[in-house]
Amino acid sequence: SDEQVIPKVSAAGLHNLICFSGKRSGATDLQGWENCEKGLKRIIPIAEKHNVIITMELLNSMEHKDYLCDHTVWGVELCRRIGSPNFRLLYDIYHMQVMEGNIINNIRKYHPYFSHIHTGGSPGRGEIDESQELYYPAIMKTLIEVGYKGFVGQEFVPMQKDKIASLEKCIKICDI
C-alpha cells in the first residue's frame, strides 16, 4: 500500500515517487480532478511526513488512450487543488509536444509545478538530436533560466545501433 511504500522510498534516500492519473473513463475534467484529489489527499500527509514528492506524469492520450492527466494545465490545476509542495508534475517533453507543443513557454509559465523532466525526440520518441523537431539546448537553457533544480531523465527510444553512444550524445546536448 502507499502507506508502506512512501516510508520505504524515503528510507532509500529518494525524494520523488512517480504516479499516474489513470484513465478518464468518460469522466469530465471536474470529475477527474475530484477522483484524483480523493486518492492523493489520503497519501499526501504521509509524503509530507517523509519528505517525498508525489510526482504525477503528464502523458499524451494519443498513445496512452484515455489517459486523464494529458495536458499541462490539467496537471497544474490538480496541483493547485492538492495545495501541497509534496505534489508536483513530471513534465514529459515528448508527451507534451504531442499534445500541446509550446514547450518553452509552458516551462516558463508552469515550472514551479515540475519536480522531474523527461526528454524524448518528437516525432517518434527517438534521440533528442537534429533528427527531430525540438531544439533541446534551448529547452535546457530555459530550465536553467527559470531556476529548475530537479532531475532531467533521458527517456527516448534509441534509434542508432550504438545505444550507449546515442545516450552520451543526448546527455551532451542537455549539458548546458
Digit-by-digit pLDDT tens for the chain (176 residues) are 667 999 999 999 999 999 999 999 999 999 999 999 999 999 999 999 999 999 999 999 999 999 999 999 999 999 999 999 999 999 999 999 999 999 999 999 999 999 999 999 999 899 999 989 999 999 999 999 999 999 999 999 999 999 999 999 999 999 98
Amino acid code (one letter) for 46: I
Give the Cα separation of 173 and 57 in Å (integer).
Answer: 23
Residues 6+ away with beta carbon under 8 Å from 161 = none
pLDDT at residue 147, as a whole number: 98
Domains identified in the chain and CATH numbers: 2-174 (3.20.20.150)
Return the residue matching grid coordinates 502507506.
3
Which residues are CB-neighbours of 145 under 8 A, at least 6 positions away? 108
Inter-residue contact 2 to 39 (CB < 8 Å): no
Q: What integer pLDDT is reported at residue 32 of this predicted model?
A: 96
Q: Cell 538530436: give the residue.
A: 129
pTM to 2 decimal places: 0.94
pLDDT value of position 173: 92
How confident is the model at residue 3, as a pLDDT? Answer: 78
- pLDDT for position 176: 83
Determine the Cα–Cα distance for residues 70 and 72; give it in Å rounded to an integer.
7
